């Protein structure tokens, strides 16, 4: 019996010893696994950045901004949006959720809501209260986005220990990328305040570091002269400074450098004028660095996420156009801002301890009036004429125009109650209207909701329309305009189509876990979130449809 007892004792001792070894091994594995991950992931979106800005302005960039990302990281040169419409709200949502409007539900910046019969804003939320301002500018949240972002998945994976902060001048640029579980999202409220704000969706009061930033004179310091960073004569990558294709600012006769922002601000929305200048990006960079320090991002082995969107590039593009010297100067200055931001991360988080990706939410078309001047087919839509013809058709065909509830975002929304009361079939009405719309000038294609819901397209504009079509939120008829034909003023650029000038945008990765290299293999926007998720070893966003870009990961 004593021998049996001794054997049992030693057996348990050995098992206990092995168990301790296994527990120790598991502990070291967890520590090792966490140390392999970046301490901070920064997802940068440059609003309205065409891919060719990387190559066109290459000679003006320094070594520490865009070129650092390309030289030290991975450049996906053939990166595209795989859906339409190419707008800011859908773009930001798609980048961070890894899917398209078909699934995440952000079908535009604003859209007609078939349930409430009202136009809704992608980030608008009357159920929350502004924080940091008494205006309604803070009544925002991500509640209309139907799926998670990779930042949400990182929060879930780390038991909410990994922080997420969203930063952008535009509310939707801060809110949608950060997702539903973010610690906070901050956006800039200009007017006569010039402050960074949030909503009660995240918190009831601003943190001390945000209040301190707002009370500083940083925003006001940018109300100064905006002139070209280098001699304007060297800006040979863009058109003449004085031309007929730019909007400019109220109070200044010509849209030419320099711009005295302090003098112009009263006629241009106060602090809002900063949004449409290169200095808006500098202010955003200042606030992003304050956020990293104020929230202690990237200081431990649990990965934090900072979503950072540069909105001013879009405002400048809309105002001055793709080929303007103002756009060129804005990207030269943004390159400098990226350089100082990366140097800041090197010092605060550590060289090789963070990962960054940079892309855009859409591109932009050259100003059609400029294209016309160089004999390229382009033009402007006559919406009044279209509406007149369409209303006449409805009255003649159905004896009422009430059969249509809304025409918006290149879509027609039908009134089902009126259709039923007239004894008509919905699908037949859709088809009749599609056949009518295709007759109109500068409409190249028209599809019904039935077609987009039942057919399966794999290529062409049809496939892009289908990926942007949300059965519950989109309209009954969708039409496509001719190439480079827009509904816009004759100055400045816009976007929204499925053509290369709107879909082809940069995709750069650099930092921890990223290979050095480049590819011309086609990648699409929904591939970004699964790739970052794979890097972190976390679940993909719950609606993700993109593929992991294995060749990017080290």
Active-site annotation, residues: 88
Joined tokens for residue 237: 């990558």
Strand runs labelled E in 220-303: 225-226, 259-260
Tokens at residue 294, please? 């104020």
What lies within 8 Å, CB to CB, of 268 at 6+ separation is 249, 250, 251, 276
Report cis status (omega within 30 of 0) of the bond before 258: yes
Distance CA 269, CA 182 (A): 30
Burial label, 370 (beta-carbon count in 10 A; 0-12, 13-18, 19+): buried
Helix (H, G, I), strand (E, B) or coil at 486: strand
d(CA 535, CA 117) in angstroms, rounded, equals: 43
Give the closest residue to 144 by CA, choosing from 99, 187, 108.
Answer: 108
Contact 473, 105 (CB under 8 A): yes
Going by C-alpha positions, the residue among 515, 461, 398, 493 that lies closest to residue 80 is 461
User: What are the structure tokens assigned to 510, written together?
Assistant: 């650099």
3-state secondary structure of 24: helix
Cis peptide leading into residue 85 (ω within 30°): yes
DSSP label at residue 379:
E
User: Are 486 and 312 contacting, i.e. CB atoms less than 8 angstroms apart?
Assistant: no
Nearest to 378 by CA among 480, 497, 485: 485
Confirm if 388 and 513 have CB atoms less than 8 A apart.
no
478 vs 500: CA distance, rounded Å: 20
Task: Tell me which H or E stretch contains 447.
Answer: strand 443-448
Outline where DSSP puts E strands in 77-232: 79-80, 110-113, 118-121, 130-131, 164-168, 184-189, 195-199, 225-226
Q: Sign of torsion, CA 253 258 260 264?
A: positive
CB 131 within 8 A of CB 199: yes
């Amino acid at each position: 019996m004593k021998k049996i007892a001794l054997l049992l004792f030693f057996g348990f001792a050995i098992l206990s010893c092995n168990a301790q070894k296994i527990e120790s091994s598991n502990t070291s594995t967890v520590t090792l696994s966490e140390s392999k991950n970046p301490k901070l992931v920064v997802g940068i979106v440059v609003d309205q950045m065409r891919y060719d800005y990387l190559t066109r302005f290459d000679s003006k960039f320094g070594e520490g901004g865009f070129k650092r990302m390309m030289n030290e990281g991975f450049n996906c040169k053939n990166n595209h949006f795989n859906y339409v419409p190419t707008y800011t709200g859908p773009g930001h949502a798609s980048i961070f959720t890894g899917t398209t409007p078909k699934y995440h539900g952000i079908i535009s910046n604003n859209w007609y809501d078939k349930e409430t019969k009202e136009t809704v804003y992608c980030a608008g939320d009357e159920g929350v209260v502004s924080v940091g301002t008494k205006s309604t500018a803070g009544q925002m949240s991500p509640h209309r986005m139907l799926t998670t972002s990779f930042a949400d998945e990182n929060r879930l994976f780390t038991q909410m220990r990994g922080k997420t902060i969203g930063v952008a001048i535009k509310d939707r640029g801060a809110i949608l990328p950060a997702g539903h579980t973010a610690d906070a999202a901050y956006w800039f409220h200009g007017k006569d305040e010039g402050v960074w704000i949030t909503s009660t969706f995240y918190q009831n009061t601003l943190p001390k570091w945000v209040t301190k930033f707002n009370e500083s004179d940083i925003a006001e310091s940018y109300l100064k002269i905006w002139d070209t960073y280098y001699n304007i004569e060297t800006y040979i990558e863009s058109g003449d400074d004085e031309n007929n294709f730019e909007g400019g600012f109220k109070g200044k006769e010509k849209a030419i450098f320099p711009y005295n922002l302090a003098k112009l601000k009263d006629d241009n929305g106060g602090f809002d004028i900063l949004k449409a200048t290169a200095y808006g990006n500098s202010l955003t960079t200042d606030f992003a660095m304050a956020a990293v320090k104020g929230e202690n991002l990237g200081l431990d082995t649990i990965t934090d996420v900072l979503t950072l969107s540069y909105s001013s590039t879009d405002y400048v593009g809309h105002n001055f156009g793709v080929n303007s010297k103002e756009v060129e100067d804005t990207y030269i200055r943004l390159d400098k801002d990226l350089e100082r931001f990366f140097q800041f991360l090197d010092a605060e988080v550590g060289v090789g301890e963070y990962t960054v990706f940079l892309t855009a939410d859409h591109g932009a078309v050259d100003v059609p009036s400029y294209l016309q001047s160089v004999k390229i087919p382009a033009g402007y839509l006559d919406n009044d004429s279209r509406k007149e013809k369409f209303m006449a058709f409805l009255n003649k065909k159905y004896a009422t125009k009430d059969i249509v509830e809304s025409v918006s975002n290149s879509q027609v929304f039908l009134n089902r109650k009126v259709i039923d009361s007239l004894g008509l079939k919905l699908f037949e009405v859709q088809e009749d209207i599609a056949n009518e719309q295709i007759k109109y000038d500068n409409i190249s294609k028209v599809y019904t909701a039935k077609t987009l819901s039942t057919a399966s397209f794999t290529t062409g504009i049809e496939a892009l329309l289908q990926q942007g079509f949300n059965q519950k939120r989109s309209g009954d008829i969708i039409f496509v305009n001719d190439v480079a034909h827009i509904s816009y003023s004759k100055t400045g650029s816009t976007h929204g189509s499925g053509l290369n000038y709107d879909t082809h945008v940069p995709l750069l990765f650099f930092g921890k876990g990223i290979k050095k290299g480049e590819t011309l293999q086609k990648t699409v926007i929904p591939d970004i979130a699964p790739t970052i998720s794979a890097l972190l070893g976390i679940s993909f966003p719950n609606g993700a449809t993109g593929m992991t870009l294995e060749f990017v990961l080290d």
